[in-house]
Structure 1
Protein backbone atom coordinates (compact mmCIF):
# COMPACT_ATOMS: atom_id res chain seq x y z
CA UNK A 1 0.00 0.00 0.00
CA UNK A 2 1.47 3.33 -1.08
CA UNK A 3 1.58 6.43 1.10
CA UNK A 4 -1.22 8.00 -0.95
CA UNK A 5 -3.42 4.91 -0.54
CA UNK A 6 -2.76 4.91 3.21
CA UNK A 7 -3.76 8.57 3.43
CA UNK A 8 -6.94 7.85 1.45
CA UNK A 9 -7.76 4.91 3.73
CA UNK A 10 -7.16 7.00 6.86
CA UNK A 11 -9.35 9.76 5.42
CA UNK A 12 -12.18 7.27 4.80
CA UNK A 13 -11.86 5.92 8.33
CA UNK A 14 -12.01 9.45 9.73
CA UNK A 15 -15.14 10.16 7.71
CA UNK A 16 -16.69 6.89 8.90
CA UNK A 17 -15.84 7.73 12.51
CA UNK A 18 -17.39 11.18 12.08
CA UNK A 19 -20.56 9.65 10.59
CA UNK A 20 -20.85 7.22 13.52
CA UNK A 21 -20.29 10.00 16.07
CA UNK A 22 -22.92 12.20 14.40
CA UNK A 23 -25.43 9.33 14.32
CA UNK A 24 -24.88 8.26 17.93
CA UNK A 25 -24.97 11.87 19.15
CA UNK A 26 -28.23 12.49 17.28
CA UNK A 27 -29.79 9.38 18.83
CA UNK A 28 -28.64 10.37 22.34
CA UNK A 29 -29.95 13.93 21.94
CA UNK A 30 -33.21 12.58 20.53
CA UNK A 31 -33.48 10.18 23.47
CA UNK A 32 -32.94 13.04 25.95
CA UNK A 33 -35.67 15.09 24.28
CA UNK A 34 -37.96 12.06 24.22
CA UNK A 35 -37.30 11.34 27.90
CA UNK A 36 -38.33 14.91 28.78
CA UNK A 37 -41.63 14.36 26.95
CA UNK A 38 -41.97 10.72 28.04
CA UNK A 39 -45.48 11.17 29.45
CA UNK A 40 -46.81 12.49 26.14
CA UNK A 41 -45.01 9.76 24.18
CA UNK A 42 -46.24 7.08 26.56
CA UNK A 43 -49.79 8.36 26.14
CA UNK A 44 -49.45 7.94 22.38
CA UNK A 45 -48.00 4.43 22.76
CA UNK A 46 -50.77 3.20 25.07
CA UNK A 47 -53.66 4.90 23.25
CA UNK A 48 -54.48 1.84 21.05
CA UNK A 49 -54.83 -0.24 24.22
CA UNK A 50 -56.73 2.48 26.06
CA UNK A 51 -59.20 2.63 23.18
CA UNK A 52 -59.97 -1.03 23.89
CA UNK A 53 -60.54 -0.17 27.58
CA UNK A 54 -57.69 -2.38 28.75
CA UNK A 55 -55.45 -1.82 31.77
CA UNK A 56 -51.68 -1.46 31.97
CA UNK A 57 -49.93 -2.46 35.20
CA UNK A 58 -46.48 -2.13 36.79
CA UNK A 59 -45.26 -5.22 38.65
CA UNK A 60 -41.87 -4.13 40.00
CA UNK A 61 -40.32 -1.09 41.67
CA UNK A 62 -37.99 -0.18 38.80
CA UNK A 63 -40.18 -1.26 35.89
CA UNK A 64 -41.69 2.16 35.14
CA UNK A 65 -38.27 3.86 35.17
CA UNK A 66 -36.64 1.39 32.79
CA UNK A 67 -39.67 1.45 30.52
CA UNK A 68 -39.26 5.21 30.14
CA UNK A 69 -35.54 4.77 29.41
CA UNK A 70 -36.29 2.13 26.78
CA UNK A 71 -39.05 4.23 25.26
CA UNK A 72 -36.75 7.27 25.13
CA UNK A 73 -34.11 5.28 23.24
CA UNK A 74 -36.62 3.99 20.70
CA UNK A 75 -38.12 7.44 20.23
CA UNK A 76 -34.63 8.92 20.01
CA UNK A 77 -33.81 6.58 17.14
CA UNK A 78 -37.00 7.56 15.29
CA UNK A 79 -36.34 11.28 15.84
CA UNK A 80 -32.70 10.96 14.80
CA UNK A 81 -33.38 8.81 11.73
CA UNK A 82 -33.23 11.74 9.24
CA UNK A 83 -29.88 12.83 10.71
CA UNK A 84 -28.56 9.27 10.58
CA UNK A 85 -29.53 9.07 6.91
CA UNK A 86 -27.82 12.42 6.29
CA UNK A 87 -24.64 11.22 8.05
CA UNK A 88 -24.55 8.09 5.88
CA UNK A 89 -25.10 10.22 2.78
CA UNK A 90 -22.28 12.54 3.83
CA UNK A 91 -19.97 9.53 4.13
CA UNK A 92 -20.75 7.95 0.75
CA UNK A 93 -21.11 11.21 -1.22
CA UNK A 94 -17.41 11.55 -2.24
CA UNK A 95 -17.50 8.12 -3.89
CA UNK A 96 -20.50 8.88 -6.11
CA UNK A 97 -20.62 10.28 -9.63
CA UNK A 98 -22.62 13.49 -10.23
CA UNK A 99 -25.54 11.63 -11.85
CA UNK A 100 -25.60 9.22 -8.87
CA UNK A 101 -25.72 12.12 -6.43
CA UNK A 102 -28.76 13.44 -8.29
CA UNK A 103 -30.63 10.25 -7.50
CA UNK A 104 -29.58 10.39 -3.86
CA UNK A 105 -30.92 13.93 -3.49
CA UNK A 106 -34.29 12.60 -4.61
CA UNK A 107 -34.17 9.41 -2.56
CA UNK A 108 -33.05 10.95 0.74
CA UNK A 109 -36.46 12.50 1.53
CA UNK A 110 -38.15 9.39 0.09
CA UNK A 111 -36.15 7.24 2.52
CA UNK A 112 -37.29 9.30 5.50
CA UNK A 113 -40.90 9.36 4.31
CA UNK A 114 -40.97 5.59 3.74
CA UNK A 115 -39.61 4.93 7.21
CA UNK A 116 -42.16 7.26 8.79
CA UNK A 117 -44.90 5.77 6.61
CA UNK A 118 -44.00 2.24 7.70
CA UNK A 119 -44.07 3.15 11.39
CA UNK A 120 -47.37 5.04 11.06
CA UNK A 121 -48.94 2.26 8.99
CA UNK A 122 -48.02 -0.29 11.64
CA UNK A 123 -49.24 1.92 14.49
CA UNK A 124 -52.55 3.07 13.04
CA UNK A 125 -53.40 0.27 10.62
CA UNK A 126 -52.04 -2.99 12.00
CA UNK A 127 -51.43 -2.64 15.75
CA UNK A 128 -55.10 -2.07 16.74
CA UNK A 129 -56.13 -5.17 14.77
CA UNK A 130 -53.44 -7.32 16.39
CA UNK A 131 -54.29 -6.11 19.91
CA UNK A 132 -57.99 -6.65 19.33
CA UNK A 133 -57.28 -10.17 18.09
CA UNK A 134 -55.28 -11.11 21.20
CA UNK A 135 -57.90 -9.68 23.53
CA UNK A 136 -60.62 -11.57 21.65
CA UNK A 137 -58.61 -14.82 21.96
CA UNK A 138 -58.39 -14.34 25.74
CA UNK A 139 -62.17 -14.67 25.90
CA UNK A 140 -64.69 -13.45 28.44
CA UNK A 141 -63.59 -15.78 31.23
CA UNK A 142 -60.14 -14.21 31.51
CA UNK A 143 -59.49 -10.70 32.76
CA UNK A 144 -56.59 -9.24 30.80
CA UNK A 145 -53.89 -7.05 32.35
CA UNK A 146 -50.91 -5.91 30.31
CA UNK A 147 -47.49 -5.29 31.85
CA UNK A 148 -46.21 -1.90 30.75
CA UNK A 149 -42.72 -3.24 30.05
CA UNK A 150 -43.93 -6.07 27.82
CA UNK A 151 -46.48 -3.86 26.08
CA UNK A 152 -43.96 -1.12 25.18
CA UNK A 153 -41.49 -3.75 23.97
CA UNK A 154 -44.23 -5.32 21.85
CA UNK A 155 -45.27 -2.00 20.26
CA UNK A 156 -41.73 -0.86 19.47
CA UNK A 157 -40.69 -4.29 18.18
CA UNK A 158 -43.79 -4.25 15.98
CA UNK A 159 -43.65 -0.73 14.53
CA UNK A 160 -39.94 0.01 13.94
CA UNK A 161 -39.33 -3.09 11.76
CA UNK A 162 -42.20 -1.90 9.56
CA UNK A 163 -40.34 1.37 9.05
CA UNK A 164 -37.18 -0.50 8.08
CA UNK A 165 -38.80 -2.96 5.67
CA UNK A 166 -40.62 -0.09 3.96
CA UNK A 167 -37.16 0.96 2.71
CA UNK A 168 -37.20 -2.00 0.29
CA UNK A 169 -37.92 0.10 -2.85
CA UNK A 170 -34.99 2.41 -2.09
CA UNK A 171 -32.66 -0.55 -1.51
CA UNK A 172 -33.80 -2.18 -4.76
CA UNK A 173 -33.24 1.08 -6.65
CA UNK A 174 -29.61 1.29 -5.55
CA UNK A 175 -28.93 -2.41 -6.14
CA UNK A 176 -30.35 -2.09 -9.65
CA UNK A 177 -28.30 1.02 -10.35
CA UNK A 178 -25.04 -0.71 -9.46
CA UNK A 179 -26.01 -3.83 -11.41
CA UNK A 180 -26.42 -6.25 -8.51
CA UNK A 181 -30.01 -7.18 -9.36
CA UNK A 182 -32.23 -6.95 -12.44
CA UNK A 183 -36.03 -6.50 -12.65
CA UNK A 184 -36.47 -9.70 -14.68
CA UNK A 185 -34.65 -11.65 -11.96
CA UNK A 186 -36.93 -10.17 -9.29
CA UNK A 187 -40.06 -11.01 -11.29
CA UNK A 188 -38.84 -14.55 -11.99
CA UNK A 189 -38.11 -15.26 -8.31
CA UNK A 190 -41.38 -14.03 -6.82
CA UNK A 191 -42.13 -17.33 -5.08
CA UNK A 192 -38.73 -17.41 -3.39
CA UNK A 193 -39.16 -13.77 -2.37
CA UNK A 194 -42.54 -14.62 -0.83
CA UNK A 195 -40.96 -17.44 1.17
CA UNK A 196 -38.15 -15.14 2.34
CA UNK A 197 -40.67 -12.45 3.32
CA UNK A 198 -42.66 -14.92 5.42
CA UNK A 199 -39.48 -16.07 7.18
CA UNK A 200 -38.33 -12.48 7.81
CA UNK A 201 -41.79 -11.52 9.08
CA UNK A 202 -41.68 -14.46 11.49
CA UNK A 203 -38.26 -13.30 12.73
CA UNK A 204 -39.15 -9.61 13.10
CA UNK A 205 -42.61 -9.79 14.63
CA UNK A 206 -42.53 -9.87 18.44
CA UNK A 207 -44.88 -12.82 18.93
CA UNK A 208 -45.18 -16.35 17.53
CA UNK A 209 -48.76 -15.87 16.37
CA UNK A 210 -49.49 -16.09 12.62
CA UNK A 211 -51.71 -12.99 12.64
CA UNK A 212 -48.97 -10.42 13.33
CA UNK A 213 -46.64 -12.28 10.94
CA UNK A 214 -49.28 -12.15 8.21
CA UNK A 215 -49.93 -8.48 8.91
CA UNK A 216 -46.27 -7.76 8.18
CA UNK A 217 -45.79 -10.20 5.30
CA UNK A 218 -48.69 -8.92 3.16
CA UNK A 219 -47.62 -5.24 2.93
CA UNK A 220 -43.97 -6.26 2.51
CA UNK A 221 -44.87 -8.48 -0.44
CA UNK A 222 -46.83 -5.56 -1.89
CA UNK A 223 -43.66 -3.47 -1.51
CA UNK A 224 -41.76 -6.21 -3.33
CA UNK A 225 -44.12 -5.88 -6.29
CA UNK A 226 -43.67 -2.10 -6.19
CA UNK A 227 -39.91 -2.64 -6.05
CA UNK A 228 -40.04 -4.61 -9.30
CA UNK A 229 -41.46 -1.54 -11.03
CA UNK A 230 -38.86 0.64 -9.31
CA UNK A 231 -36.14 -1.74 -10.53
CA UNK A 232 -37.43 -1.52 -14.11
CA UNK A 233 -37.39 2.25 -13.95
CA UNK A 234 -33.88 2.26 -12.47
CA UNK A 235 -32.69 -0.23 -15.11
CA UNK A 236 -33.95 2.00 -17.93
CA UNK A 237 -32.09 4.95 -16.46
CA UNK A 238 -28.95 2.83 -16.11
CA UNK A 239 -29.21 1.72 -19.75
CA UNK A 240 -29.58 5.31 -20.95
CA UNK A 241 -26.59 6.34 -18.85
CA UNK A 242 -24.50 3.51 -20.36
CA UNK A 243 -25.52 4.55 -23.88
CA UNK A 244 -24.53 8.14 -23.18
CA UNK A 245 -21.20 6.95 -21.78
CA UNK A 246 -20.69 4.71 -24.83
CA UNK A 247 -21.42 7.56 -27.23
CA UNK A 248 -18.97 9.78 -25.37
CA UNK A 249 -16.35 7.04 -25.53
CA UNK A 250 -16.80 6.66 -29.32
CA UNK A 251 -16.61 10.41 -29.83
CA UNK A 252 -13.40 10.54 -27.84
Structure 2
Protein backbone atom coordinates (compact mmCIF):
# COMPACT_ATOMS: atom_id res chain seq x y z
CA UNK A 1 0.00 0.00 0.00
CA UNK A 2 1.35 3.43 -0.94
CA UNK A 3 1.22 6.07 1.79
CA UNK A 4 -0.15 9.45 0.74
CA UNK A 5 -0.14 12.83 2.51
CA UNK A 6 -3.10 13.61 4.77
CA UNK A 7 -4.16 16.49 2.52
CA UNK A 8 -4.55 14.11 -0.42
CA UNK A 9 -6.83 11.88 1.65
CA UNK A 10 -8.92 14.85 2.78
CA UNK A 11 -9.36 16.06 -0.79
CA UNK A 12 -10.33 12.54 -1.88
CA UNK A 13 -12.81 12.32 1.02
CA UNK A 14 -14.38 15.64 0.08
CA UNK A 15 -14.71 14.53 -3.55
CA UNK A 16 -16.42 11.29 -2.54
CA UNK A 17 -18.79 13.07 -0.15
CA UNK A 18 -19.75 15.58 -2.83
CA UNK A 19 -20.54 12.74 -5.23
CA UNK A 20 -22.64 10.98 -2.58
CA UNK A 21 -24.66 14.11 -1.85
CA UNK A 22 -24.99 14.89 -5.57
CA UNK A 23 -26.33 11.39 -6.21
CA UNK A 24 -28.95 11.72 -3.47
CA UNK A 25 -30.02 15.17 -4.65
CA UNK A 26 -30.32 14.07 -8.28
CA UNK A 27 -32.60 11.19 -7.35
CA UNK A 28 -34.57 13.45 -5.01
CA UNK A 29 -35.07 16.00 -7.79
CA UNK A 30 -36.32 13.24 -10.08
CA UNK A 31 -38.80 11.97 -7.46
CA UNK A 32 -39.94 15.34 -6.08
CA UNK A 33 -42.98 15.56 -8.34
CA UNK A 34 -44.34 12.32 -6.85
CA UNK A 35 -43.70 13.20 -3.20
CA UNK A 36 -47.38 12.93 -2.31
CA UNK A 37 -47.74 9.55 -3.99
CA UNK A 38 -44.63 8.26 -2.24
CA UNK A 39 -45.97 9.29 1.15
CA UNK A 40 -49.33 7.72 0.34
CA UNK A 41 -47.51 4.47 -0.45
CA UNK A 42 -45.73 4.65 2.90
CA UNK A 43 -49.02 5.34 4.70
CA UNK A 44 -50.99 2.60 2.94
CA UNK A 45 -50.57 -0.03 5.71
CA UNK A 46 -52.37 2.33 8.11
CA UNK A 47 -54.85 3.73 5.62
CA UNK A 48 -55.99 0.22 4.73
CA UNK A 49 -57.17 -0.46 8.30
CA UNK A 50 -58.75 2.91 9.08
CA UNK A 51 -62.55 2.89 9.44
CA UNK A 52 -64.59 4.06 6.47
CA UNK A 53 -64.48 7.84 6.18
CA UNK A 54 -61.46 8.19 8.50
CA UNK A 55 -58.19 9.74 7.39
CA UNK A 56 -54.84 10.91 8.69
CA UNK A 57 -54.42 14.47 9.96
CA UNK A 58 -51.73 17.15 10.03
CA UNK A 59 -51.52 19.14 13.27
CA UNK A 60 -48.58 21.23 12.09
CA UNK A 61 -49.20 23.91 9.46
CA UNK A 62 -46.14 22.95 7.40
CA UNK A 63 -46.47 19.17 7.85
CA UNK A 64 -48.44 18.52 4.61
CA UNK A 65 -45.50 19.96 2.68
CA UNK A 66 -42.45 18.85 4.65
CA UNK A 67 -43.45 15.30 5.63
CA UNK A 68 -43.75 14.05 2.01
CA UNK A 69 -40.45 15.82 1.32
CA UNK A 70 -38.78 13.89 4.16
CA UNK A 71 -40.15 10.60 2.88
CA UNK A 72 -38.99 11.36 -0.67
CA UNK A 73 -35.53 12.27 0.61
CA UNK A 74 -35.36 8.95 2.44
CA UNK A 75 -36.37 7.09 -0.71
CA UNK A 76 -33.78 9.06 -2.70
CA UNK A 77 -31.12 7.98 -0.23
CA UNK A 78 -32.12 4.33 -0.61
CA UNK A 79 -32.30 4.50 -4.40
CA UNK A 80 -28.86 6.15 -4.59
CA UNK A 81 -27.26 3.59 -2.26
CA UNK A 82 -25.34 1.87 -5.08
CA UNK A 83 -23.58 5.15 -5.84
CA UNK A 84 -23.00 5.82 -2.13
CA UNK A 85 -21.52 2.37 -1.57
CA UNK A 86 -19.31 2.70 -4.61
CA UNK A 87 -17.92 6.02 -3.36
CA UNK A 88 -17.27 4.56 0.08
CA UNK A 89 -15.56 1.53 -1.41
CA UNK A 90 -13.49 3.63 -3.82
CA UNK A 91 -12.23 5.66 -0.86
CA UNK A 92 -11.31 2.81 1.50
CA UNK A 93 -10.30 0.07 -0.95
CA UNK A 94 -6.81 1.45 -1.79
CA UNK A 95 -5.86 1.20 1.88
CA UNK A 96 -6.93 -2.43 2.29
CA UNK A 97 -5.00 -5.64 1.83
CA UNK A 98 -6.28 -8.25 -0.60
CA UNK A 99 -7.63 -10.55 2.15
CA UNK A 100 -9.38 -7.58 3.79
CA UNK A 101 -11.07 -6.71 0.50
CA UNK A 102 -12.28 -10.28 0.10
CA UNK A 103 -13.94 -10.09 3.52
CA UNK A 104 -15.19 -6.50 3.67
CA UNK A 105 -16.80 -6.24 0.23
CA UNK A 106 -19.22 -9.16 0.76
CA UNK A 107 -19.99 -7.95 4.29
CA UNK A 108 -20.70 -4.43 3.02
CA UNK A 109 -23.02 -5.72 0.32
CA UNK A 110 -24.71 -8.14 2.73
CA UNK A 111 -25.26 -5.39 5.29
CA UNK A 112 -27.16 -3.23 2.82
CA UNK A 113 -29.22 -6.13 1.49
CA UNK A 114 -30.11 -7.30 4.99
CA UNK A 115 -31.07 -3.81 6.14
CA UNK A 116 -33.35 -3.37 3.14
CA UNK A 117 -34.78 -6.83 3.78
CA UNK A 118 -35.55 -5.78 7.34
CA UNK A 119 -37.38 -2.68 6.12
CA UNK A 120 -39.36 -4.74 3.60
CA UNK A 121 -40.24 -7.27 6.30
CA UNK A 122 -41.55 -4.47 8.51
CA UNK A 123 -43.56 -2.82 5.74
CA UNK A 124 -45.19 -5.87 4.17
CA UNK A 125 -45.63 -8.15 7.19
CA UNK A 126 -45.34 -6.26 10.47
CA UNK A 127 -47.15 -2.99 9.72
CA UNK A 128 -50.43 -4.64 8.64
CA UNK A 129 -50.42 -6.68 11.86
CA UNK A 130 -49.53 -3.75 14.11
CA UNK A 131 -51.98 -1.28 12.61
CA UNK A 132 -54.69 -3.92 12.41
CA UNK A 133 -54.23 -4.59 16.13
CA UNK A 134 -54.26 -0.89 17.03
CA UNK A 135 -57.37 -0.34 14.94
CA UNK A 136 -59.11 -3.29 16.58
CA UNK A 137 -58.40 -2.10 20.14
CA UNK A 138 -59.41 1.52 19.52
CA UNK A 139 -62.29 2.19 21.97
CA UNK A 140 -65.73 2.84 20.56
CA UNK A 141 -66.37 6.53 20.08
CA UNK A 142 -62.65 7.31 19.58
CA UNK A 143 -61.55 8.38 16.10
CA UNK A 144 -58.26 6.83 15.03
CA UNK A 145 -56.85 9.94 13.30
CA UNK A 146 -53.05 9.71 13.26
CA UNK A 147 -50.87 12.77 12.67
CA UNK A 148 -48.76 12.32 9.53
CA UNK A 149 -45.57 13.58 11.19
CA UNK A 150 -45.94 11.21 14.17
CA UNK A 151 -46.75 8.38 11.79
CA UNK A 152 -43.53 9.06 9.90
CA UNK A 153 -41.53 9.03 13.16
CA UNK A 154 -43.12 5.72 14.17
CA UNK A 155 -42.50 4.12 10.78
CA UNK A 156 -38.87 5.27 10.66
CA UNK A 157 -38.29 3.90 14.15
CA UNK A 158 -39.71 0.53 13.11
CA UNK A 159 -37.64 0.54 9.91
CA UNK A 160 -34.47 1.16 11.90
CA UNK A 161 -35.39 -1.49 14.49
CA UNK A 162 -36.02 -4.20 11.90
CA UNK A 163 -33.16 -3.08 9.67
CA UNK A 164 -30.69 -3.31 12.57
CA UNK A 165 -32.19 -6.64 13.64
CA UNK A 166 -31.50 -8.08 10.20
CA UNK A 167 -27.83 -7.05 10.58
CA UNK A 168 -27.31 -9.69 13.28
CA UNK A 169 -25.60 -12.22 10.94
CA UNK A 170 -23.05 -9.61 9.88
CA UNK A 171 -22.31 -8.68 13.50
CA UNK A 172 -21.89 -12.35 14.44
CA UNK A 173 -19.52 -13.01 11.53
CA UNK A 174 -17.41 -9.91 12.23
CA UNK A 175 -17.09 -10.67 15.95
CA UNK A 176 -16.08 -14.23 15.15
CA UNK A 177 -13.55 -13.26 12.48
CA UNK A 178 -12.00 -10.67 14.81
CA UNK A 179 -11.54 -13.34 17.45
CA UNK A 180 -13.80 -11.63 19.97
CA UNK A 181 -16.00 -14.71 20.32
CA UNK A 182 -15.54 -18.29 19.18
CA UNK A 183 -18.12 -20.50 17.53
CA UNK A 184 -18.50 -22.47 20.75
CA UNK A 185 -19.16 -19.26 22.71
CA UNK A 186 -21.74 -18.19 20.14
CA UNK A 187 -23.51 -21.52 20.47
CA UNK A 188 -23.46 -21.38 24.27
CA UNK A 189 -24.96 -17.87 24.19
CA UNK A 190 -27.97 -19.09 22.22
CA UNK A 191 -30.35 -19.17 25.21
CA UNK A 192 -29.35 -15.64 26.26
CA UNK A 193 -29.90 -14.39 22.73
CA UNK A 194 -33.41 -15.84 22.63
CA UNK A 195 -34.34 -14.15 25.92
CA UNK A 196 -32.69 -10.90 24.81
CA UNK A 197 -34.55 -11.02 21.49
CA UNK A 198 -37.92 -11.09 23.23
CA UNK A 199 -36.86 -8.34 25.66
CA UNK A 200 -35.78 -6.10 22.77
CA UNK A 201 -38.98 -6.89 20.87
CA UNK A 202 -41.08 -5.97 23.91
CA UNK A 203 -39.33 -2.59 24.12
CA UNK A 204 -39.26 -1.71 20.43
CA UNK A 205 -42.61 -2.94 19.11
CA UNK A 206 -46.18 -2.03 20.12
CA UNK A 207 -47.65 -4.00 23.04
CA UNK A 208 -49.23 -6.83 21.06
CA UNK A 209 -47.72 -10.29 21.30
CA UNK A 210 -47.82 -11.04 17.57
CA UNK A 211 -45.69 -8.06 16.51
CA UNK A 212 -43.21 -8.82 19.30
CA UNK A 213 -42.89 -12.40 18.06
CA UNK A 214 -42.43 -11.09 14.50
CA UNK A 215 -39.32 -9.21 15.66
CA UNK A 216 -37.94 -11.68 18.21
CA UNK A 217 -38.13 -14.82 16.08
CA UNK A 218 -36.31 -13.34 13.03
CA UNK A 219 -33.65 -11.94 15.38
CA UNK A 220 -33.04 -15.39 16.83
CA UNK A 221 -33.09 -17.12 13.41
CA UNK A 222 -30.68 -14.55 11.98
CA UNK A 223 -28.35 -15.16 14.92
CA UNK A 224 -28.41 -18.87 14.08
CA UNK A 225 -27.74 -18.02 10.44
CA UNK A 226 -24.74 -15.93 11.52
CA UNK A 227 -23.34 -18.92 13.43
CA UNK A 228 -23.76 -21.17 10.39
CA UNK A 229 -22.08 -18.66 8.08
CA UNK A 230 -19.22 -18.15 10.55
CA UNK A 231 -18.63 -21.90 10.57
CA UNK A 232 -18.64 -21.99 6.76
CA UNK A 233 -16.22 -19.06 6.51
CA UNK A 234 -13.83 -20.55 9.07
CA UNK A 235 -13.81 -24.02 7.50
CA UNK A 236 -11.32 -23.31 4.65
CA UNK A 237 -8.76 -21.76 7.01
CA UNK A 238 -9.15 -24.65 9.45
CA UNK A 239 -8.65 -27.20 6.65
CA UNK A 240 -5.63 -25.30 5.36
CA UNK A 241 -4.06 -25.34 8.83
CA UNK A 242 -4.65 -29.07 9.09
TMscore range, shorter length: 0.7 to 0.9
Q: CA deviation at 1:123?
A: 0.3
Q: Deviations over 1:209-242 (max 9, x none)?
A: 365554323212221111111111222244356x
In 1, Cα distance between equivalents of 2:153 and 2:30: 20
Instruction: Note if contact 1:168-1:227 (Cα within 8 Å) is conserved in structure 2.
Output: yes
Q: Deviations over 1:114-161 (max 9, x none)?
A: 222111111001110000111112133322111111122222221243
- Structure 1 residues 218, 142: closer, same or farther in 2, change over 3 A? same
Partner of 1:140: 140
Partner of 1:231: 230
Partner of 2:44: 47
Three-state SS of the structure 2 residue aligned to 1:58 is: coil
After TM superposition, list the pairs within 5 Å mapping 1:171-182 onto structure 2. 171-182=171-182
Instruction: Note if contact 1:182-1:235 (Cα within 8 Å) is conserved in structure 2.
Output: no
Three-state SS of the structure 2 residue aligned to 1:115 is: helix
Partner of 1:218: 217
- Structure 1 residues 157, 98: closer, same or farther in 2, change over 3 A? same
Partner of 1:122: 122
In 2, Cα distance between equivalents of 1:22 and 1:62: 30
- Structure 1 residues 81, 172: closer, same or farther in 2, change over 3 A? farther
In 2, Cα distance between equivalents of 1:199 and 1:85: 33
Taking structure 1 as the reference length, the TM-score comes to 0.77
In 2, Cα distance between equivalents of 1:131 and 1:25: 36
Partner of 1:97: 97
Partner of 1:169: 169
Instruction: Name the Cα RMSD after superposition.
Output: 3.0
Instruction: Note if contact 1:35-1:68 (Cα within 8 Å) is conserved in structure 2.
Output: no
- Structure 1 residues 179, 218: closer, same or farther in 2, change over 3 A? same
Instruction: Note if contact 1:176-1:235 (Cα within 8 Å) is conserved in structure 2.
Output: no
Q: Deviations over 1:71-96 (max 9, x none)?
A: 12322232233333333322332233
Partner of 1:247: none
- Structure 1 residues 32, 194: closer, same or farther in 2, change over 3 A? farther
In the alignment, does 2:24 pair up with 1:23?
no
In 1, Cα distance between equivalents of 2:96 and 2:69: 39
Taking structure 2 as the reference length, the TM-score comes to 0.80
Partner of 1:37: 34
In the alignment, does 2:67 pair up with 1:67?
yes
- Structure 1 residues 18, 240: closer, same or farther in 2, change over 3 A? farther
